[in-house]
Amino acid sequence: MSGDHFDAVVVGAGLVGLAVAPALSRAGLKVALVDRAPVAAPEFDSDSWDTRVYAISPGSATFLRSLGAWQMLQPERIEPVEAMQVAGDAGATMEFSAYELGERALAWIVEERALRIALLPLVFEAGVEVIGSAALASLDWTPDACALTLTESGASAQVLTAKLIVGADGARSWVRQAAGLATEPRPYGQTAVVANFACERAHHGIARQWFRSDGSVLAWLPLPGRRMSMVWSAPDALATQLRTLDSVALAARVAEAGGHALGALALITAAASFPLALLKLPAIIAHRLALVGDAAHGVHPLAGQGVNLGFGDVEALAAVLAERGPATDPGVRVLLERFARRRAEPVLAMQTVTDGLVRLFGPTHPLLKTLRNAGLTAVDRLPLLKRALAQPALN
């Protein structure tokens, strides 16, 4: 059994893990990045589009630029969201404009693989030790360190010791379970069905979202050219039905659901799906442990803020550890509590807004339907309140 010693070990090489590893290295730490899957950049194919896309907020774009990742993205594969139109289930509407909010864009729509291709080289350039195809065996703590035992494919067991473990391993986090933070995500009873389409009409950089009378939320996000990415957060039964449709029938169903706002649609990526759940933990830190990204919190995708909250976690953790001063040990409680305090308010605000909207537009009671649509219209007429609602999504 071999041993390696680090200041921080990051578990999980998703987008958030790929960001936190070089960020902590730049904060002066010796870092290892571990993942169960091989850690490699996906191949880029200019003739195809990634099914999974993200709405990167202005704040996240600034952070990614500070890492050096944003500059590596191909501009022709990024689409700015100039405005967003939101429709209730009884005709109410609300619109957000980047111009009115004083922003270049409300968000930028970026493919997941493009972000991975941009982030992974930064991991290696920062001198991070990368261990892929690893089986996570156990996680143990002493007062002064923690030990992660793992095995690599075809290799003997390996023990990584660190002053700090960072769990970036997603909603079903192994690290979270190993630390005894066993809160389970609360299912919404919805599944997100995602796919990309070619559009008959230009989208003009407008994102569209409909709160539908069946309790689902349909979102169309603009992609470069006459293309858009759909996220349909549907009750599980409807999601199952959508997944059984062939490409022509699905395109017709999605076009109809969106009132043919972009004309006829044609499917350009196979549909994919994932279950939706709310995750609220009593704490995102423990002894020599910090959770980031979906391992720390889960939100409904109606605001497209999951990955942005994760990048916010990374930025806050890296800043706290870079400013640690005489506290050279990155795993001491005072630093982790400082990180947790910085993230408590923005995460709670986003969870409250998204969860509240899902609950508000879920029930079918006629009175509640009237009230929520009246509220949507009223907010659209109050610029200061509308800015207050939009601001957390811009950070």
Residues 164, 192, single domain; the answer is no
Residues 198, 271, single domain; the answer is yes
Residues 211, 192, single domain; the answer is yes
Residues 177, 192, single domain; the answer is no
Q: What is the CATH number of the domain that holds 60?
A: 3.30.9.10
Confidence of residue 115 (pLDDT cuts 50, 70, 90): very high
Q: Is residue 30 assigned to a domain? A: yes
Mean residue pLDDT of the chain comes to 89
What is the pTM (predicted TM-score) of this model? 0.91
What was the pLDDT predicted at 353? 79
**Greater model confidence, 152 or 50:** 50
Quick: pLDDT tens for 235-277. 999 999 999 999 999 999 999 999 999 999 999 999 999 999 8
Collapsing DSSP to helix, strand or coil, 235 comes out as: strand
What was the pLDDT predicted at 215? 84
Residue 152 above 70 pLDDT?
Answer: no
Q: Is residue 77 assigned to a domain? A: yes
Q: What is the largest CA-CA distance in the chain?
A: 66
List beta partners, residue 278: 186
Residue 92 above 90 pLDDT?
Answer: no
> Could you tell me the two tokens for 211?
């709160």
Residues 138, 37, single domain; the answer is yes
For the chain, what is the domain count?
2
CA atoms of 40 and 152, how far apart (whole Å): 15
Q: Is residue 48 assigned to a domain? A: no
Residues 151, 286, single domain; the answer is yes
What was the pLDDT predicted at 105? 94
What percent of the chain lies above the pLDDT cut of 70? 88
Residues 136, 157, single domain; the answer is yes
Residues 172, 215, single domain; the answer is no
Q: What is the CATH number of the domain that holds 36?
A: 3.50.50.60
Q: Is residue 350 assigned to a domain? A: yes
Quick: pLDDT tens for 10-35. 999 999 999 999 999 999 999 999 99
Confidence of residue 45 (pLDDT cuts 50, 70, 90): confident
Q: 355 and 316 in contact (C-beta within 8 Å)?
A: no
What was the pLDDT predicted at 1? 37
Residues 351, 383, single domain; the answer is no
Residues 158, 57, single domain; the answer is no
Residue 2 above 50 pLDDT?
Answer: no
Quick: pLDDT tens for 318-340. 999 999 887 789 999 999 999 99
Residue 41 above 90 pLDDT?
Answer: no
The answer to which of 61-65, 95-99, 166-170, 220-224 has the lowest mean pLDDT is: 95-99
Confidence of residue 108 (pLDDT cuts 50, 70, 90): very high
CA atoms of 5 and 23, how far apart (whole Å): 19
CA atoms of 222 and 203, how far apart (whole Å): 6
> Could you tell me the two tokens for 142?
């002493």
Residues 335, 231, single domain; the answer is no
Mean pLDDT calculated for residue range 133-161? 87
Residue 363 above 50 pLDDT?
Answer: yes
Collapsing DSSP to helix, strand or coil, 14 comes out as: coil
Q: Is residue 130 assigned to a domain? A: yes
Mean pLDDT calculated for residue range 305-310? 91
What was the pLDDT predicted at 192? 94
Confidence of residue 182 (pLDDT cuts 50, 70, 90): confident
Q: Is residue 129 assigned to a domain? A: yes
Collapsing DSSP to helix, strand or coil, 64 comes out as: helix
Q: Is residue 165 assigned to a domain? A: yes
Residues 123, 201, single domain; the answer is no
CA atoms of 273 and 121, how far apart (whole Å): 29
**Greater model confidence, 227 or 368:** 227
Residue 386 above 60 pLDDT?
Answer: no
What was the pLDDT predicted at 120? 97
- Per the structure, the complete domain to which residue 304 belongs is given by 2-43+116-185+279-357
What was the pLDDT predicted at 371? 59
> Could you tell me the two tokens for 138?
């156990």
